[in-house]
Amino acid sequence: MNFPSASHSAPHWRGFTPMADFDELVVREGQGCWLTTTDGHRLLDGISSLWCNVHGHRHPKIDAAVIEQLGRVAHVTTLGMSGETTEILAQRLAQITPGDLAHTFFSSDGSSAVEAALKMAFQYWRQCSEPQPEKTQYLALGSAYHGDTTGAVSLGGIKYFHQLFAPILFSPLRGPVPCTYRLPAEVSSESACDFYTQQFDAILRQHHSTIAAVVMEPLVQGAAGMITHPVGLLANIRRLCDQYNVLMIVDEVATGFGRTGKLFACEHENVTPDILCVGKGLTGGYLPMAATIARPHVFDAFLAPATESRQFYHGHTFGGNPLAAAAAIASIDLIEETDLISTVDRKAKHLRDRLSVLGVHPNVGDIRGRGLMVGIEIVADKTTKATFDSADQVGRKICQAAVQRGVWIRPLSDVIVAMPPLVATDDELDILADAIIDSIRCSLPVTKTAPEALQCSSPSR
């Protein structure tokens, strides 16, 4: 496949894309796990159209639900009123989310869901039964990523995404990066959970009187490079939040709706956050929708007669859009009817087993993740875990090679991401694995005398 360069006069300004230097791909249609470009090439959607597609493209049940809703009403506001389909979805979310999460505030994307959560927690501490208006800070993880709106960017700890905007951001308290790959020399994998728990404990012990909430992704920090947390850390942070009277906001925009092998990643450790943020897979990847879901004690702080002005001071035009709600209900129905989540662990094992051959490659430092969210970290030196110079664009070159082999993936710096739709078949997972394996071999060739498992083969097209 030939990649035409983007024009400096390109009418479509793409996000996180160097507009003077990128490979032009335009999709005409999709079916199942496959995309077809305008020049007729078929590509396996190896990142679920940015981690959101659950059931594949053009699923007949979700298509039909959106068409049926379009025959009734396309949009009504949720400011002072609502649509019937949106009300049904809010009830369904109360039923399927962990614990007593029961009150849903809708928005259009994950960043907005996190932004709403920050404001919700801030306002809560001014209106709860025992107000503590001094709670104005947030504790975020190292290398955090929670979106691109101003509040969400403020939580972020990834230099390339966030340092440019520092003058207009607030500064959170910053916790450690609880990574199981790059552990301090004195910390073993067995002691990692206790080590990081003690660090969070120290911060909360010192600052709890001014902290409104801890904000974190559970189990896996996606955009940070598929950083995988020690088992048990999520539950320990929940315990610390209770101990120090701090709200817990969990961002499941990427991990929710089956991606980790449970409907919500929190369920792996029996955790119910005070506020849960979801998006991406909420509508099966069909339409923009996100949700900020609160427990009753949070919601109750906003209940009062209109004259007291305690309502939540936040709201968007398209929050709770009925077309998106219809897609979300159909997606949830499909998850339940097909028992889709029960297949994720087996598929994840199949994909990891296929990728395990990369373990002997001198530039593959780690293969990690949970469920069907996998990150393969490429390093310059396997022993020291030293990274390549960013100017080498190693991750980008590997993903370009994968496109030549019929698979669309996108890197996080030099971490290669594999996040196929949850409905991907074993054959499709094999295609994904083969493309990644061969693209790494060919982009980072080793000596011709190396084992066959490390040798490059030419793309099929």
User: How far is the C-alpha of 328 from the C-alpha of 456, rounded, in Å?
Assistant: 42
* Phi, psi at 260, each rounded to 5°: -100, 5
- Please state the three-class secondary structure of 407-455 as a single string: EECCEECCEEEECCCCCCCHHHHHHHHHHHHHHHHHHCCCCCCCCHHHC
410 annotated binding-site participant = yes
Tell me if 367 sits within 8 A of 353, measured CB to CB.
Answer: no
145 annotated binding-site participant = yes
Q: Which helix (H) or strand (E) holds 63?
A: helix 60-70
| Residue where the block lists tokens 């961002």 | 251
DSSP-derived secondary structure for 4-62 = PBPPTT-S---TT--TTS-B---EEEEEBTEEEETTS-EEEETTHHHHT-SS-BT-HHH
Burial of residue 126 (CB within 10 Å: 0-12, 13-18, 19+) is middle
Q: At what angle do helices 322-338 and 60-70 cross, to 10 degrees?
A: 150
DSSP state of 216: E
For the chain, what's the residue count?
A: 461
110 annotated binding-site participant = yes
147 annotated binding-site participant = no
389 annotated binding-site participant = no
426 annotated binding-site participant = no
User: How far is the C-alpha of 314 from the C-alpha of 134, rounded, in Å?
Assistant: 21
Return the structure tokens found at 290: 């996100």
Tell me if 295 sits within 8 A of 99, measured CB to CB.
Answer: yes
75 annotated binding-site participant = no
Binding residues for substrate: 145, 280, 315, 410
Binding residues: 110-111, 145, 251, 280, 315-317, 410
Binding residues for pyridoxal 5'-phosphate: 110-111, 251, 316-317
